[in-house]
Structure 1
Amino acid sequence: MKIYTRTGDKGQTQVYTHEVLKKDKDDSLLQCYGTLDELNSVVGLINALLIEEAKHASALLTDVSDWLYQVQQDIFAIGFAMSNASQLRDDAVQELETHIDALTALLPPQTSFILPGGHVIAAQTHVARTVARRAERELVSLNKQHELADNVLQYINRLSDFLFVLARAINHALNIEDINVTAS
């Protein structure tokens, strides 16, 4: 597969659905693709950092690495679900909820708003969470013009929740306290 096609040099690209479509690169469909690609890259970075950190720390971090690999597969599937007949796995949302519940059970109760930060991996997980929120906003807009499967919007919403809890769990596993918002 050739990496450059020379078809995008003038601000357009081809999208492969049941037919080949030519779209401007600022089209809402391509905006969503780009944000999902960014999200997938950030999740990949978090996973790489966790794999490195797991050599020195908690077994929890090793388990989470497998979860994040599946998240990357799911994000990629969402891209296909946007443009073709492929769909996100039916159990993907439930799987995220199961992971959220498992991680939450390990954490002290949240009693205030939490600022992003702590360990660099947790901070990067918060970055992924904000990218997931942007992807959700873009998918909601896209859904007004291009019908998406119901579980796509559910999944991306739950993914940002998962990433929030994961950031807390990473800090907790590395003995770093949440950074609570203080009243001014």
Structure 2
Amino acid sequence: MAIYTKGGDKGSTSLFDGKRVRKDSLQVETYGTFDELNANISLADKFCISKRNKQILQQVEYRMFYLQGEIATHDPEKFRAQSNIISDEDVHFLESVIDDYTAKLPKVTSFILPGSSLAGAQLHVCRTVCRRAERLLVAFMADNEVRPELERYVNRLSDFMYIMARSEDHEDYLNKVVSEVVRRYKKAMEGKQ
């Protein structure tokens, strides 16, 4: 079966509920940017050192499908009747991760570079794409109904990406410290022989 339909050959695409819109519409740009974010989150989870962070990011990746689907429909009620949706429980999940990690990580007293590790840098890319997607969502909301839960989730998501980046940078730092201690210990032991 071919993955192409030829339906978009004239510059339009189908929404979730079948309505056709121009590919350059704000609606398509908005859910497309969240799709871009999700691809970046997937890449970030492959770079993560922490198994817990990988699992958390994969949970978020699935939520992104619900978020995109709800934006990618002319009739949000039709989508909500046929799919899972972002809820306040999802918002609270992001907040709990942010609060937990903030309490455990060293305090930040100045601006930080966007990532000292590969995973941290990629998570900062996610943070910035998320902010762009949020700006598009706000513009989209000027003429379209968006549930407050969805808006809250998107607003927490960039903070979540920031704290995940800090977590991965910290994990990377600790691993480097341990590797250096082991290297020095082995060198010292070689000198005693």
Question: What TM-score comes out, normalization by structure 1 length?
Answer: 0.85
Say which structure is richer in helix: 2
Tell me how far 1:9 sits from its aligned partner. Answer: 1.4
Point out where structure 1 has 5 or more consecutive residues left out of the alignment. 55-60, 177-184
Match of 1:168 among 166, 169, 183: 166
Question: 1:156: which partner in 2?
Answer: 154
Question: 2:11: which partner in 1?
Answer: 11
- Contact 2:87 2:150 (8 Å CA) reproduced: no
Following the alignment from structure 1 to structure 2, what is the Cα–Cα distance between the partners of residues 155 and 90?
8
Question: 1:70: which partner in 2?
Answer: 59
Counterpart check, 1:34 vs 2:46:
no
Rg: which structure is higher? 2
Match of 1:108 among 106, 109, 114: 106
Question: 1:179: which partner in 2?
Answer: none
Tell me how far 1:41 sits from its aligned partner. Answer: 0.2
- Contact 2:16 2:69 (8 Å CA) reproduced: no
Cα-to-partner distance string for 1:25-77 (whole Å, 9 max, x where unaligned): 00011001110110000000011122xxx3xxxxxx10111111111111111
- Contact 2:120 2:166 (8 Å CA) reproduced: yes
Following the alignment from structure 1 to structure 2, what is the Cα–Cα distance between the partners of residues 47 and 117?
14
Cα-to-partner distance string for 1:121-163 (whole Å, 9 max, x where unaligned): 1001000000000010011111111111111111111010011
* Counterpart code for 1:79: Q
Point out where structure 2 has 5 or more consecutive residues left out of the alignment. 175-193
The total of aligned residue pairs comes to 165
- Contact 1:81 1:149 (8 Å CA) reproduced: no
Following the alignment from structure 2 to structure 1, what is the Cα–Cα distance between the partners of residues 90 and 70?
13
Q: Which moved more, 1:150-159 or 1:124-133?
A: 150-159
Question: 1:91: which partner in 2?
Answer: 89
Cα-to-partner distance string for 1:79-136 (whole Å, 9 max, x where unaligned): 1222233221330110000000111122111101112121111001000000000010
Question: 2:68: which partner in 1?
Answer: 79
Question: 1:48: which partner in 2?
Answer: 46
Question: 2:183: which partner in 1?
Answer: none
Over the matched positions of the two proteins, sequence identity in percent amounts to 39
Following the alignment from structure 1 to structure 2, what is the Cα–Cα distance between the partners of residues 2 and 44?
25
Following the alignment from structure 1 to structure 2, what is the Cα–Cα distance between the partners of residues 14 and 92?
28
Following the alignment from structure 1 to structure 2, what is the Cα–Cα distance between the partners of residues 2 and 134?
33
Following the alignment from structure 1 to structure 2, what is the Cα–Cα distance between the partners of residues 140 and 112?
29
Runs of 4+ in 1 over 6 A off after TM superposition: none
